[in-house]
Amino acid sequence: MKKKIRRKTLRSLATLVAALAICLASLAGQSLMPLTSVPYTLQNMLCIVAACILGGAQGAGATGLFILAGGLGIPVFALGNSGISHITGQTGGYILGYFAAAAVSGLIAGSPYTFEKKFSAKNWLRLLLAAAVGYALVYVPGLIWLRHCILANPENTFYGMLKDLSAGDQWACVIRMGLTPFIYGDMLKLAATVPLCALVRPRAARILYGSEEEEAAELMESLKKKKALFDSLHLPVKHKKH
């Protein structure tokens, strides 16, 4: 029982540490990309790395804590921004995209296990899929909300550029502003994310979930409890006399 409590505490601490790392990324060198209001940041990478190492619930939890901290006014968003007004601002869709990306990436990657092989092709492909989906998913709410905010505010710097265009041309312009400049950077992040997560996951599993023997013991204990419960509910069957 004590081991289980200690493991749960460690998993909670890992979530907090991951959230802190994402927050501290706001101190790293970040800047606005040319001809766009969207900043270049490492925070999307850290959200996805946390999810691919810890799994969906903890990865999404870490990203959720980061968003909560920023919403409460702590300057943890890109370029030291914070507050609800920033979340609802034109780059707010990307912030919400971080949460969606962490949840889905972590769900695909799954929780880490001690018996994972660091150089398994199957494992790397799963992590590649998880991370690639995560990086792409950030831009779905990001671009939708960016277009909405530009068109809803005539004083926006890019309003005049979009207002007279067709819907298709508007989307093409928004994609050039909010996606195209980041593609090569995200490809480099993806190339670093997969091996990093593949190497760290088994070690993280040993710390957060214990050794293979402990995992097996917990599994056996769980199965025994289920069997005991089933046996207690199982009524004897009366055989019919012929």
CA pair distance 158, 175, nearest whole angstrom:
13
Tens digits of residue pLDDT in 39-70 = 778 899 999 999 999 998 999 999 999 999 99
Q: Find out whether 47 and 62 touch, Cβ atoms under 8 Å.
A: yes
Question: Which of 3 and 156 is assigned the larger pLDDT?
Answer: 156
Dihedral, CA atoms, 23, 27, 29, 31, nearest 10 degrees? Answer: 70
- What percentage of residues in the chain have a pLDDT greater than 70? 85
Predicted local distance difference test score (pLDDT) of residue 232 = 72
Question: Which of 114 and 241 is assigned the larger pLDDT?
Answer: 114
Predicted local distance difference test score (pLDDT) of residue 214 = 62
Tens digits of residue pLDDT in 188-240 = 999 999 999 999 999 998 888 876 556 566 557 767 776 777 777 665 545 55
10 pLDDT above the threshold of 60: yes
* C-alpha closest to that of 25 among 1, 51, 45: 45
CA pair distance 214, 206, nearest whole angstrom:
9
Predicted local distance difference test score (pLDDT) of residue 42 = 87
CA pair distance 34, 97, nearest whole angstrom:
22
* C-alpha closest to that of 46 among 9, 70, 20: 20
CA distances to 21, 30, 87, 214 from 45, in Å? 11, 13, 19, 32
Specify the 3-state DSSP secondary structure of 239.
coil
Instruction: Give the pLDDT band (50/70/90) at residue 157.
Output: confident
Residue for token digits 């050039």? Answer: 176
Predicted local distance difference test score (pLDDT) of residue 237 = 47
Tens digits of residue pLDDT in 85-108 = 999 999 899 999 999 999 999 999
Tens digits of residue pLDDT in 159-178 = 988 989 999 999 999 999 99
Predicted local distance difference test score (pLDDT) of residue 33 = 57
- Tell the burial category of 37 from Cβ atoms under 10 Å away from its Cβ (0-12, 13-18, 19+): middle
- Tell the burial category of 231 from Cβ atoms under 10 Å away from its Cβ (0-12, 13-18, 19+): exposed
Measured between alpha carbons, how far apart are the two ends of the chain, in Å?
A: 51
Predicted local distance difference test score (pLDDT) of residue 26 = 77
Q: Find out whether 132 and 124 touch, Cβ atoms under 8 Å.
A: no
Instruction: Give the pLDDT band (50/70/90) at residue 117.
Output: confident
Tens digits of residue pLDDT in 12-34 = 999 999 999 999 887 765 555 55
Contacts of 25 (CB under 8 A, 6+ apart): 41, 42, 43, 46
Contacts of 210 (CB under 8 A, 6+ apart): 3, 7, 114, 218
Predicted local distance difference test score (pLDDT) of residue 123 = 93
